[in-house]
Structure 1
Amino acid sequence: MLISSWLASLFCWLILLTPSFAGDGVKSESASFVGGKACAGCHADQTQVWASSHHAKAMQEATPANVEGDFANATLVHDGATTSFSRAGDAFMLRADGPDGVAHDYKVAYTFGVFPLQQYLIAFPGGRYQAFGAAWDSRPRDKGGQRWFSLYPSETIHPGDPLHWTGRDQTWNYQCAACHSTNLRKNYNLAADAYATTWTDLNVSCEACHGPGSSHIAWAAARKPESKDDRSAPRADHANADMGLTTSRAPAGEGLWRMNKDTGIAERAASPRSRELDICAPCHSRRKVIAEGPIGGPFLDSYLPALLESGLYHPDGQIDGEAFEYGSFIQSRMHRAGVVCSNCHEPHSLALRAQGNGLCAQCHLPAKFDAASHHHHTQGGEGAQCVNCHMPAKTYMVVDDRRDHSLRVPRPDLTLSIGSPNACNSCHAGKSPEWASQTVANWFPGGRQTRGHFGLALHAGRAGAADAERQLDQLITDAAQPDIARAAALALLPAYLSPQSDAAIKSSLADPSPLVRAAAPRALAVSPSAAMIEAMAPLLGDPVRAVRIEAARALAGADQQAMTPEQRNAFAAAYAELFAAEMIDAERPEAHLNLGLLETKLRRGDEADAQYQTALRLDPNFVPALVNLADLDRMRGMNGQGANLLRKAMAIEPSNADIKHSLGLALVRQKNYAEALPLLREASELAPGEARYAYVYAIAINSTGAHGQALNLLEQAHKRHPANRDILLALISISRETGDLAGALAHARELAALFPADAQIRMLVLDLEKRQPQ
């Protein structure tokens, strides 16, 4: 019998009032998935509003009721290729180039998404579903919609390219399925290279967020009224206060806010212990799956999120690539204050809690913030809308405008210093960043522009600034900065690593933030010292899986014999988790590339070879596997075979700098200098941002006796990479060899300024000073 309507209403009210989740409330050992239809009887109101949401329409069968696109013999011409869209009864068809480059007729199996665009999935052999490369613009016609368009309008993508709609980067089973369906199981078979994918609900249904529902249904059944007259008062059930939900809710006080009238900003009534972000983040983040954990379980136990990486984020953390919301939101002061997703978004309809500035007014007094004295624009106009300044939008997938969830204060001063965009110039496109910066400074003389920003350090790290190491070290140890920014600084540190950074790295190993601890191993040197291995080893037993596997990845190349028996056992356990994490994506050649690199570090050549061969079985043209297999052949003394692999890779990607550099080195080892030098030169020219390519080419030139040319190349590289130790050491060495002692001393002093704690460099400076002509 169904639970009473009174209890259903109470349950709904609790959802809205207390969106937080208890820190230890994940209980899924015995619960199983039952499907969203089993929830609808007791939760009719929630089901009704959910039915019109994007979650409900995340994936649907291709029926006349669900298909938005024009299949009435419509056509789309892109880059000389024509796609036609038609119907055969209730079947929706398209005709387009297939994997063989020949046009075929394909039946649409499912719709994917609904607004502002809808994509279509095509069934392929091996249980695959491929996302077609053209989509329907479902916006109104007066907004530019109601048309077919290419998702890659400025690119030519041929069959065989991973980005072609038939390629592996468009395979639904791997790329999209888990976040558009409920209880999805890929069921990939590596030997057959095939899927038998299953799901409970085709779309994002109740259990995608609330977890498997069988225990909750059993709880409801046990509380059924004993008689018709007993329906008004559900019986107490203190032994099962979580109502059988696999993710139980926090005490009500944690969901309440109180307005601070002095600041005009609401404050949480208690310290937040929310699991809500752990529920939303898996599908609203750029991340890698590392384990199949319970819904609502600790995010970093099942996922490894992308950091503030170039291409995904600007140096100051603003969105650049398609990074979704998590990485932005955890930068925000709102997140630190305890704001969670459902404070702004109704969790069933996904609608905003209020429209316009009313949404922000939930926590920010309008008298203080929705006023010209704050926003300095015409009241009620576009410039006075909170989101336009604090959540600027960027367009993805041609028509999909997405707002930056870092909820930041506009900083046009950072546009001037590090090139990040700013909301002011997004609207005032005809004005300069200098104008915007001065205007903001006039409005707020003591504003944010008077303070530092983590973006300055990340920019220094990306650009190779002379003081990059110092700035990164300071950011890593500054607990007031967002954890994701500090983690990103750790990932950038290896390019500048010196003993000066030991303190920052060691502090990060014991940081309270698991995101920082997970990034700490990335700062480890290729050949870490015994002291650093000893400091890193405890992370192998960290309570968070992401930390353990990253520690195992970093320590794979360490001398196992130098570890204690306890450390070796901890490494073996963590490595097993790392191996399993990579095999979750066993259908991807990248997974086997990663495993091959790990096996190489562990000096298991046959196992590494097998992983590279598996990657090439999945994709014979996967260049990284060819390059690394060639490097493995080099280590095994098979230089000729390795060079042949590199030639094959270069035929696939003739403009790839990595391949040219590797082949150049292989030919140097064969003493084929005539062919090697042009390849090393091309590599350095194709990738001027790679300091090592410039360094190696200059050293190779110097070995031919062209010392002046080598010095000139090194000086140019030094301008691009002023903090690079190898380039400075080469300048010192060649200058000294050619008799330019003054030049050698000048560069030695530069090096000493970069690494003041290095005793060998100080001795070098003293030696060169003694040698200077009197």
Structure 2
Amino acid sequence: MRKLLCFLLPALLMLGCDKQSSPVDHRDTLADKDKPVPAAVVEATQTEVEAKAPNLAKRTYMGAETCAGCHASEFQSWQKSHHDMAMKLPTPETVVGNFDNAEFDYFGTVSHFFKRGDKYVVRTDGPDGKLQDFAVAYTFGIEPLQQYLIELPGGKLQALSIAWDSRSKEVGGQRWFHLYPNEEIKPGDPLHWTGLNQNWNFMCADCHSTNFQKNYDTATKTFSSAWSEINVGCEACHGPASRHVDWANAPEDQRGRYGENLGLEVSYRDRLTGAWQMNLETGIAQLLKNAGGADIQKEIQTCAQCHSRRSTAFPGAHPQSNFLDHFNPALLSDGLYHADGQINDEVYVYGSFLQSKMHGAGVTCSNCHNPHTLKVRAEGNALCAQCHLPQKFDTAEHHMHKADTQGAQCVSCHMPEKTYMQVDARRDHSFRVPRPDLSLSIGSPNACVGCHSDKTDSWAAQVLEKKYGKPKPHYGEALFAGRIGAPDAEGRLLKLAMDDTQPEIVRATAVSMLPQYLSQTSAQVLQVIAQGDDALLHLGLAQSLENVPERIRPALAIPLLYEDEKVVTALAANAMAGAPMAQYPEEVRRQFNNGLVNYQRSEDFNSDRPESLANLAGMYFQQGQPAKSEKYFRDAIDLEPSYSPAYINLADLYRATGREQESEQVLREALAAVNDKTPVEHSLGLSLVRQKKMSEALEYLRAAAHSTTAPSHYVYVYAIGLNSLGKSNEAIKELEQALERFPGDRQIISALASIHHEQGNGSAAQQYQQQLQ
């Protein structure tokens, strides 16, 4: 499977700069990268901070070296950490790869790594496919791999796909390797190192530099990106420090005016007020509620800004910012997570941790990780023993393995790892109990057979049931039902969405799936949720409003327009972009207009991506501006010719405006340009059906339906096409095969019931009708 790989280190980011007694306002840019770097003092983006603290002057970034003057121990701990090394200028101290005339062969393209004076150079295939010499602009990361950034015209920094394995030789490291070893990625492909999806300015910089400003110019398609510090430093987590420095230099009697945070925007000292007490009966420590109501989990929202699978909707986030005012995080989506919530694709911890009992109990990131070194606070099971009595849990009676073996390690069972980017093993932070029974019922992996590869899921399930008893119901069963379209999916998802004992991200995921199964009951529940107080549930609903029928969409979207989270209100407004707003009260129209303006600003900010250009095109079409919509779809195609949704939606625009032949033409253009042709073949088949070219239409519908990436709906449409041409037996065969791939899919079962009924096969029709009921 083709996947976009992005190297985000397990913590936050980095930093580095020279201390000056009288700092000068300065921002590093690509043009300055070869110049000496003075103290990085950058005006902080004006955010809600000024509104909350009007007595404070605008803060500026001072640089890590400034912090070192008073915080020497923390500064020393941070140096050489993953945050510090997240991005650096290439020097003998920062480059770990072999540039001593080394070679690497990738599908016949031989790249050379060498030095030219003090420059680190790679000769490899460029945008045109020809070998060229490229100087390394920056190192990227440090361990278990280091990538190298190359500067291309237009202010773009691109991540080279040939990386250095910085692990020891004993475990297979100290070598060059390619991130996509099993598929030849050629120039022109968005996954090629020169392509759109290896662009640092969008993909990586937000979380590998401090106070990053993308500064993309849509007209020229160029970047003038800037930052305060090239890596992740003190102020990435603590915010701009100028007022804190003023506090430190102020007379004692003047310090009070800088507030309880001592001039900083945020303080994490509240975490220290949380006292833990061991419950000797359960063997698990419990957080004692503090009377002051301190927010001991404040740091999680700061860490989440980078350690989550999310997009940046609105720039300018500071450590104290409301997460959903700036970021649109992924929920437990298919492809990113297994149905039971275990990690599948790279999701960067936050979505996993929100599912955990640890999070529910009040555990924070720094309970386990030193926030400056980023290392764990203790090695092996001693880390877990901070809160879990070893006499109860670190025993063969509990883990059923010999002491001092891999199986006796807590993380082996409760934090199974998955390897990304070929060499980067990352652990699941949902801290779950192994559930081989779920492997049998919903196909999710389990840690038991992950180690005991010679055993089966059934064996593991039997062992655990004998030891611990019958397993409890799990939310993964409801999410799986929603994914496959099971007949009872709506009821299961409704129950999960309303169960406030479950993690909020799980409930939000259920909410996001409910519009696929909308009934009067579920619509009423969603309206209650829209009017409730759960931010993640609001997000789940806002992300799925496009799947809600337009006639009832306002009932769910309008309450969301009044929420505090900017991302939620923007998504809700876009979902109503085509609604007749004149019929609503002035206050609703005002909230809608504010939300839609924010939505447009968000997509404009991300207009270096074809997805955002296509989103803007859709918004303008909903507003009755087809010419403007067409332009944005064409801009998206021009920016990334392999982006299939732009072609498909442009074709739909042509269809909706009575230009069916142009619709067909643009889809044929897409077939020659895109990588995944399946959705294009399906759309082209439908276009040909509308033009009554049935024979050719069925060829494309069949190709789409038989693709391994086809959703169940593609098979349904192809089968209906076959049946309409009198090929009922073939249609039934296709649907029966599809039911094996998509067990419980209501649309497929309904089609089987209908076609069997038409054919006079009453018993078969009744059998499928009963499945629906």
TM-score (norm 1): 0.88
Distance 1:554 1:73, change over 3 A: same
CA contact (8 A) 2:527 2:555 kept: no
Find the residue that maps to 2:111 and give its secondary structure.
strand
Question: After the TM superposition, which residues 14-93 of structure 1 pair with which residues of structure 2 at under 5 Å, given as runs?
Answer: 30-93=58-121
Structure 1, 347-356 or 730-739: larger mean CA deviation: 730-739
Distance 1:688 1:536, change over 3 A: same
What does residue 307 of structure 2 align with?
284
What does residue 646 of structure 1 align with?
667
Q: How many Å apart are 1:101 and its aligned residue?
A: 0.5
- The residue identity in structure 2 corresponding to 1:269 is L
What does residue 541 of structure 1 align with?
562
Confirm or deny that 1:444 pairs with 2:468. yes
Question: After the TM superposition, which residues 58-457 of structure 1 pair with which residues of structure 2 at under 5 Å, given as runs?
Answer: 58-223=86-251, 237=256, 240-249=259-268, 251=270, 254-270=273-289, 273=295, 274-292=297-315, 293-445=317-469, 449-457=470-478
What is the rounded CA distance, in whole Å, between the counterparts of 1:498 and 1:689 in structure 2?
26
Find the residue that maps to 1:237 and give its secondary structure.
helix
Distance 1:29 1:725, change over 3 A: farther
Distance 1:361 1:432, change over 3 A: same
Confirm or deny that 1:552 pairs with 2:573. yes
CA contact (8 A) 1:596 1:607 kept: yes
What is the rounded CA distance, in whole Å, between the counterparts of 1:597 and 1:405 in structure 2?
37
Find the residue that maps to 1:667 and give its secondary structure.
helix
Find the residue that maps to 2:311 and give its secondary structure.
strand
Q: How many Å apart are 1:749 and its aligned residue?
A: 4.6
Find the residue that maps to 1:506 and give its secondary structure.
helix
CA contact (8 A) 1:25 1:246 kept: no
What is the rounded CA distance, in whole Å, between the counterparts of 1:412 and 1:595 in structure 2?
45
- The residue identity in structure 2 corresponding to 1:367 is Q
What is the rounded CA distance, in whole Å, between the counterparts of 2:580 and 2:734 in structure 1?
37
What does residue 759 of structure 1 align with?
none
Q: How many Å apart are 1:524 and its aligned residue?
A: 4.2
CA contact (8 A) 1:25 1:247 kept: no
Find the residue that maps to 2:706 and give its secondary structure.
helix
What is the rounded CA distance, in whole Å, between the counterparts of 2:168 and 2:756 in structure 1?
68
Q: Deviations over 1:661-719 (max 9, x none)?
A: 11111112222222112111222112575232222222222332334444444454456
Q: 1:620 aligns with which of 620, 641, 654?
A: 641
What is the rounded CA distance, in whole Å, between the counterparts of 1:215 and 1:689 in structure 2?
56
- The residue identity in structure 2 corresponding to 1:438 is Q
Find the residue that maps to 1:541 and give its secondary structure.
coil
What does residue 671 of structure 1 align with?
692
CA contact (8 A) 2:560 2:572 kept: yes
Distance 1:490 1:116, change over 3 A: same
What does residue 44 of structure 2 align with?
none
What does residue 8 of structure 2 align with?
none
What is the rounded CA distance, in whole Å, between the counterparts of 1:267 and 1:2 in structure 2?
46
Distance 1:236 1:700, change over 3 A: closer
Q: Deviations over 1:718-772 (max 9, x none)?
A: 5655655544554455455444555555544544x2xxxxxxxxxxxxxxxxxxx
Q: 2:632 aligns with which of 611, 630, 655?
A: 611
What does residue 33 of structure 2 align with?
none
- The residue identity in structure 1 corresponding to 2:128 is D
Q: How many Å apart are 1:59 and its aligned residue?
A: 0.6
Find the residue that maps to 2:432 and give its secondary structure.
coil
CA contact (8 A) 2:255 2:262 kept: no
Find the residue that maps to 1:108 and give its secondary structure.
strand
What is the rounded CA distance, in whole Å, between the counterparts of 1:246 and 1:650 in structure 2?
52
CA contact (8 A) 2:739 2:748 kept: yes
Q: Deviations over 1:382-406 (max 9, x none)?
A: 2221111111111111111111111
Distance 1:58 1:560, change over 3 A: same
Q: Deviations over 1:204-252 (max 9, x none)?
A: 011000001111111111146xxxxxxxxx9873762211011134546
Q: How many Å apart are 1:108 and its aligned residue?
A: 0.8
What does residue 34 of structure 2 align with?
none
- The residue identity in structure 1 corresponding to 2:224 is A
Q: 1:481 aligns with which of 493, 502, 512?
A: 502
Structure 1, 434-443 or 686-695: larger mean CA deviation: 686-695
Q: How many Å apart are 1:115 and its aligned residue?
A: 0.8
Q: Deviations over 1:155-176 (max 9, x none)?
A: 2100000000111111111111
Q: How many Å apart are 1:473 and its aligned residue?
A: 1.6
What does residue 16 of structure 1 align with?
none
Find the residue that maps to 2:136 and give its secondary structure.
strand
CA contact (8 A) 1:33 1:214 kept: yes
What does residue 26 of structure 2 align with?
none
CA contact (8 A) 1:139 1:146 kept: yes
What is the rounded CA distance, in whole Å, between the counterparts of 2:502 and 2:647 in structure 1?
41
CA contact (8 A) 1:556 1:602 kept: yes
- The residue identity in structure 1 corresponding to 2:170 is D
CA contact (8 A) 2:641 2:673 kept: no
Q: Deviations over 1:548-567 (max 9, x none)?
A: 12322333344434533332
What does residue 40 of structure 2 align with?
none
CA contact (8 A) 1:633 1:642 kept: yes
- Please identify the structure whose Cα radius of gyration is greater: 1
What is the rounded CA distance, in whole Å, between the counterparts of 1:126 and 1:432 in structure 2?
54
What is the rounded CA distance, in whole Å, between the counterparts of 1:197 and 1:256 in structure 2?
44
What is the rounded CA distance, in whole Å, between the counterparts of 1:688 and 1:259 in structure 2?
50
Q: List gaps (5 residues or longer) in structure 2.
A: 1-18, 22-48
- The residue identity in structure 1 corresponding to 2:453 is A
What is the rounded CA distance, in whole Å, between the counterparts of 1:352 and 1:727 in structure 2?
50
Q: How many Å apart are 1:58 and its aligned residue?
A: 0.7
Find the residue that maps to 2:445 and give its secondary structure.
coil
What is the rounded CA distance, in whole Å, between the counterparts of 2:412 and 2:128 in structure 1?
46
Structure 1, 742-751 or 688-697: larger mean CA deviation: 742-751
- The residue identity in structure 2 corresponding to 1:370 is D
Distance 1:559 1:687, change over 3 A: farther
TM-score (norm 2): 0.88
Question: After the TM superposition, which residues 532-611 of structure 1 pair with which residues of structure 2 at under 5 Å, given as runs?
Answer: 533-611=554-632
Identity across the alignment (%): 45
Q: How many Å apart are 1:541 and its aligned residue?
A: 1.1
What is the rounded CA distance, in whole Å, between the counterparts of 1:480 and 1:540 in structure 2?
27
Distance 1:252 1:524, change over 3 A: closer
- The residue identity in structure 2 corresponding to 1:467 is D
What is the rounded CA distance, in whole Å, between the counterparts of 1:166 and 1:688 in structure 2?
26
Q: How many Å apart are 1:177 and its aligned residue?
A: 0.9
What is the rounded CA distance, in whole Å, between the counterparts of 2:422 and 2:550 in structure 1?
49
What is the rounded CA distance, in whole Å, between the counterparts of 2:371 and 2:359 in structure 1?
18
What is the rounded CA distance, in whole Å, between the counterparts of 1:251 and 1:467 in structure 2?
45
Q: List gaps (5 residues or longer) in structure 1.
A: 4-21, 225-233, 754-774
